[in-house]
Amino acid sequence: MLPMRFPLIVLLVITLLASCGSPPPTLAPKNGGIEGPVSKGPTPEELERLLGNDEKDYPLYPGDLLRITVQGHEDLTIERKIPASGRIPLYGLDTTDADGGNPRVTEVDVAGLRLPQLEQKLATLYKRIVNPPYVTVKVVQFAPKVIYVAGAVGGPRDYRLPDETRISLVQALTMAGWFTEDAAKDRVRVIRVDPQTGDRVHLPAIDVTKIISSGDSAWDILLLPGDTITVDSHESKTVSIFGHVERPGEYPWSPGMTLTRLITISGGLRTFAKMTNIRVLRSGVGGKEEDGAYHVDLKAVLDGEEPDYELEPGDRIWVDERFI
């Protein structure tokens, strides 16, 4: 049977860093890190958009609580939480009354928009009743979201982002127990979902030692939900996962890494993944089955009937499709 161990999760207090307005240093992507199920690196124009650290560059998500203000019209100041549909209801924009004299509801698609885009969209709508409309939108509370930290850090796993603020790369690394002794601090990578295209793109490798030593926080980027941070080690060790997961490919291995943690980092199982027979192939070691693999019942692990399984460098995991 595979070695098993319950991972120890150490959560450290978030340390706040002062921001700095100097331009980012020129950093070129380096080899290493997660490869495979992501698009090529962003163009300079895409990178400028993806690295936006200002609150106005934040793409809105379901669950975000918004405050919409129309200058000079306190009666139109409202707070709305974005529902799962991504559309918020606004009243009074349609001057045609519905049956019974109640004002019609105007639903506005907001999920994925940035604040300036939403302000412009709402200004166009409010022109029906206000001339000229000056509309401002603020995120009062951010929806619960998670990021993923993998590789050579003290506590690699998924972390929930604070509800009322955004955190930076260095703050997230602090949450994850900072670097291990063999961490390549000059090769920290962030893989980000482009909210406009849905593609996962590699940002250029970031040298955290420069951020700390110089105090230049231009590359201490603010994180977005779904970001995956990977820290290479000087002796890079990896595991791979293939088949019916959201982001199959090769991922950095870290001590104590378990099967469920790898599945989480890889985006989780797809709808028709076969949970009861996940195969783990290990170099030089054969499982009990004819195919030479260990067979893991993930459903039993998640139900607490079996302990989680600790992975070793070089392990290859295959998730089959469940046929109905």
Q: So what's the pLDDT on residue 196? A: 61
Q: Is the residue at 226 inside a domain?
A: yes
Res. 54: pLDDT tops 90: no
| Domain coverage including residue 14 | 1-54+143-235
Q: What is the mean pLDDT of residues 261-289?
A: 79
Q: What is the mean pLDDT of residues 97-117?
A: 74
Q: Which pair of structure tokens corresponds to residue 195?
A: 């909210």
Q: So what's the pLDDT on residue 176? A: 93
Residues 6 and 25 in one domain: yes
Q: Which of 237, 287, 239, 234 is nearest to 263 (CA)?
A: 239
Q: Is the residue at 112 inside a domain?
A: yes
Q: Is the residue at 14 inside a domain?
A: yes
Q: So what's the pLDDT on residue 287? A: 43
Q: Which residue has the higher pLDDT, 324 or 211?
A: 211
Q: Give percent above pLDDT 70 in the chain.
A: 73
Res. 101: pLDDT tops 80: no
pTM over 0.85: no
Residues 185 and 153 in one domain: yes
Residues 49 and 147 in one domain: yes
Q: CATH number, domain at 278?
A: 3.10.560.10
Sheet holding 278-281, edge to edge: 249-252, 238-243, 316-319, 278-281, 294-296
Q: pLDDT tens digits for 7-16?
A: 333 323 333 2
| HEC string for the chain | CCCCCCCCCCCCCCCCCCCCCCCCCCCCCCCCCCECCCECCCCHHHHHHHCCCCHHHCCCCCCCEEEEEECCCHHHCEEEECCCCCEEEEECCCCCECHHHCECEEEEECCCCCHHHHHHHHHHHHCCCCCCCCEEEEEEECCCCEEEEEECECCCEEEECCCCCCCEHHHHHHHCCCECCCEEEEEEEEEEECCCCCCEEECCCECHHHHHHHCCCCCCCECCCCCEEEEEECCCCEEEEEECECCCEEEECCCCCEHHHHHHHCCCECCCECCCCEEEEECCECCCCCCCCEEECHHHHHCCCCCCCECCCCCEEEECECCC
Give me the residue label for tokens 């930076």: 168
Q: Indicate the pLDDT class of residue 203, thresholds 50, 70 and 90.
A: confident
Q: So what's the pLDDT on residue 260? A: 94
> Do 243 and 273 touch, CB atoms closer than 8 A?
yes
Residues 117 and 152 in one domain: no
Res. 137: pLDDT tops 80: yes
Residues 76 and 128 in one domain: yes
Q: What is the mean pLDDT of residues 48-64?
A: 70
**pLDDT mean across residues, the chain:** 76
Last residue of a domain, one of 217, 235, 253: 235
Res. 97: pLDDT tops 60: no
Give me the residue label for tokens 């049956």: 99
What count of Cα atoms within 13 Å lies in the side-chain half-sphere of residue 50? 23
Q: So what's the pLDDT on residue 321? A: 83
Residues 33 and 72 in one domain: no
Residues 242 and 315 in one domain: yes
- Lowest mean pLDDT, pick from 19-28, 47-56, 115-124, 233-242: 19-28
As a dihedral over the C-alpha atoms of residue 123, residue 127, residue 130, residue 135, rounded to 10 degrees, the angle is 0
Q: Which residue has the higher pLDDT, 28 or 79?
A: 79
Q: Indicate the pLDDT class of residue 151, thresholds 50, 70 and 90.
A: confident
Sheet holding 78-81, edge to edge: 78-81, 65-70, 135-141
Q: Which residue has the higher pLDDT, 152 or 16?
A: 152
Q: Is the residue at 29 inside a domain?
A: yes
Q: Which pair of structure tokens corresponds to residue 99?
A: 């049956």
Res. 236: pLDDT tops 60: yes
Q: Is the residue at 38 inside a domain?
A: yes
> Do 48 and 194 touch, CB atoms closer than 8 A?
no
Residues 30 and 70 in one domain: no
> Do 216 and 26 touch, CB atoms closer than 8 A?
no
Residues 316 and 246 in one domain: yes
